[in-house]
Structure 1
């Protein structure tokens, strides 16, 4: 029988040797424009699921591999295709559920991309393309780690493994809870790895231990029954744009912090993080000041924020001397850990209704909610994960918060009570997920794949 050290070394060597193949497969996935948003062709999402299923089947490790979807509650519709695979544990070993998603964000303004968004392109040590980081790289980190485990230990290891590669995360995971319920037996696990977060920087790994929640909705502001001539009635009649601008301005104070009564914040220390680092990672020009109060990371991790992410209004090219009768905006609020998302939304709605100028009519629709999450870091899985990350990167990992949201984690906690949840990722701060020129840092991907392979080896040696 080989020693644990020899096993770990064999797994590491296999993982490193498998990185080129994993990156080639990632490139093929990036070429599939799997946008799951309403209004986009769903066929590429199905094609993406089929490609992922083929990669999973080729490992030869799973008893079952299938493409499945689930009903979207209260709509009569069905969600986008996900890939589901299952391999039972043996001899008292734990089961690990590996999660990632194969759908991607829309590309936005394609003219802002330096290379075609669905043509994987390597430059400057990074792989560029939509989904290259978020989150098809997460899928290939999982698949690459499993390949390494099989290469080093053979295909008869005892660790139980389940895979859930979702097809609609970017579009709101509308069928996620139902999917978990439908497939609870196949997905039930002792440890869950959600590979959809990031790292401290390109050299330093991290476990994500806190996530803000989100409350998103559409707001329609109406002041007129119909459009009117701005010269004939301007100065006496409030147009919807004026009312919308005045109303939205009440959401923030002079420092740019959220100014809504009833939104809470979490009081906890944060690591050192300089304004210079913020400017570099966020692309903040030297003449523009940061917003908010407190440490920079407390503003991002532990306090609420409100962003207007979309607006339906006359475009510049179509502008005319007209008073707009109504304007619609999309408001996305990030909710601090410790507050329920619906509670935060109720505070924002009450604020907007109380501050509506000129008696403007408000309509609230399109609600989406996701609760914040705090990881329990006391379990043995966190200890094993930290050790694997440190061994792979050669740098001790840090625990970090993330200002973004992964709403479905609340569903995982509810459905699989007692499972230890690890939120990891392949991204570095310059990945630009959701933005033009999204990219994957190749060294970070290599280390993330090796770290997960080492974690799988540790769990395969653990008896519950």
Structure 2
């Protein structure tokens, strides 16, 4: 996460002023277009209607086409496995001219499920502005990222017109929230069109609504379904309880082995990474996460090391009898969804091996343990030494009026490692439109409109800087 002193392109003040005016003038349309995208419930999970993702892709294709910049704009689907296709992505290409670099702009148009509707203050797919925030599922993650690219391109085209010489590729994925299952095949299918000198991924966070962030470290992830079985059938809890272990008891005891008394991960073989961290007091953690009074943070060490550089394990779902339907019964089996985050420096494959070994070795009462639906994504560390990071940091400072901070992220964007493997010479910038109050993936997700404005401006200025770079 070190700073770089790489020389950057000088920004023409007159051009920068015109771009600022164009971004400001286009902001109402950008917010309206973002709202229209939020209305489409483009959940990419298998149990949801895929027609909504297709409708979203067509809306995004039309928006990208409206910039008037591209030689080609199309939707495309790549296979997941065999004849099973992934959700549609949008791919647009404008060739570089006169030796200018090519930039690939990435975002995704699919969204997480809404969750419990009762927890939303406004309907999740009816975008609502309250104060300086636009509320709705996907308003920030990542349809604001989509619109950041579109709005920045509109502004640059308005000012530079067809004189724009930098090459631009837009890749808007349709299944990032469901594991990017066709991503690798999509890269292979469109490798020539996607090749770029600089890749901008607009899918991360900022330290605050006034300070921009450039994410340089991302944790990996391992997710799977864990099932524990102890009985061939359910039986009466009064008649057999106390002698016969049920699936719930076995699951509870097994899950308890994953953490120590401080809440740190207690799985042998999961590693951590050493790094330097900016100040981040516990009070800030409480404010940004809604940690209740009297509830202590978990883990040890610097708080940001726990969020950015150490593994974490979370139970994100459980299949068990509900309280309403509970009977006096010993459950024969229980299943949970496990989401583990992997520290940079360890592969997801090694992390999964450690988790599998731990769970099999710690199964209580000889319970049968099954692990299925495994998904892995590698962590990533950005090389901050090149001209791309220098240009990006400068553009962020000009767009926000504050120096950008190089930060880590507890979340995972596994496909970035895939991009780096396929395009090893490309430099990668992980920017974002989120802030600590965004609540991505949660009820009442929102996009701060000031952050949205500054993100568009920064990207437009970056494109202008690249256009002047030979």
Question: Contact 1:275/1:296 (CA < 8 Å) preserved in 2?
Answer: yes
Q: 1:253 aligns with which of 249, 254, 260?
A: 260
Deviations 1:25-67 (A, max 9, x none): 0000000000010110111111100111111111111010001
Structure-1 residue corresponding to 2:67: 59
1:35 matched to 2:40 = no
Offset at residue 4 of structure 1 (A):
2.3
2:229 is the counterpart of 1:218 = no
Deviations 1:341-378 (A, max 9, x none): 11011111111111100000011100000000000001
Distance 1:256 1:239 in 2: 25
- Does the CA contact (< 8 Å) of 2:148 and 2:459 recur in 1? yes
2:6 match: none
Contact 1:137 1:445 in 2 (8 A): yes
Aligned counterpart, 2:244: 237
Name which of 151, 154, 176 aligns with 2:158.
151
CA contact (8 A) 2:222 2:377 kept: yes
Does residue 434 (structure 1) correspond to residue 420 (structure 2)? The answer is: no
User: How many residue pairs align between the two structures?
Assistant: 461
Q: Distance in 2 between matches of 1:130 and 1:88?
A: 34
Partner of 1:384: 391
* 1:283-432 equivalences in 2 (<5 Å): 283-432=290-439
Mapped to 2, the partners of 1:155 and 1:308 lie a distance apart of 52
Structure 2 portions without partners, runs of 5+: 1-10
Q: Does 1:14 align with 2:22?
A: yes
Unmatched tracts of structure 1, length 5 or more: none
Q: Match of 1:49?
A: 57
Q: Which sits farther off after the overlay, 242-251 or 152-161? A: 152-161
For 2:224 and 2:49, how far apart are their aligned partners in 1?
Answer: 24
Displacement after TM superposition at 1:156 (Å): 2.6
Give, in whole Å, the separation in 1 of the partners of 2:292 and 2:248.
Answer: 29
Establish whether residue 179 from structure 1 lines up as the match of residue 186 from structure 2.
yes
Q: Distance in 2 between matches of 1:288 and 1:404?
A: 23
Query: What is the alpha-carbon distance in structure 2 between the residues aligned to residue 347 and residue 288 of structure 1?
Result: 30
Among 192, 197, 208, the alignment partner of 1:201 is 208
Which aligned segments of 4 or more residues in structure 1 are displaced greater than 6 angstroms?
Answer: none
User: Aligned partners of 2:253, 2:74: CA distance in 1, in Å?
Assistant: 52
Q: Please give the alpha-carbon distance, in whole angstroms, between the structure 2 residues aligned to 1:238 and 1:157.
A: 69
Determine helix, strand or coil for the equivalent of 1:219: strand
SS in 1 for 2:200: strand
Instruction: Write the distance in 2 (CA, Å) between the matches of 1:8 and 1:378.
Output: 26
**Is structure 2 residue 25 aligned with structure 1 residue 26?**
no
Q: Does 1:169 align with 2:171?
A: no
8 Å CA contact 1:7, 1:153 repeated in 2: no
Residue equivalent to 2:277: 270
1:107 aligns with 2:114: yes
Quote the offset at 1:8 in angstroms: 1.9
Take 2:67 and 2:431, find their aligned partners in 1: how far apart are those partners?
22
What are the Cα deviations for residues 271-318 of structure 1, in whole angstroms up to 9, with x where unaligned?
A: 100111101111101111000000100000000000011110111111
Contact 1:205 1:396 survives alignment (8 Å): yes
* CA displacement at 1:16 relative to structure 2: 1.8
Partner of 1:68: 76
Kindly indicate whether residue 138 of structure 2 is the aligned counterpart of residue 131 of structure 1: yes
Calculate the aligned-residue CA RMSD, in Å.
1.0
Secondary structure (helix, strand or coil) at the match of 2:125 reads coil
C-alpha distance in structure 1 between counterparts of 2:29 and 2:90, whole Å: 21
The whole-number CA distance in structure 2 between the counterparts of 1:235 and 1:121 is: 53
2 CA distance for matches of 1:299 and 1:327? 29
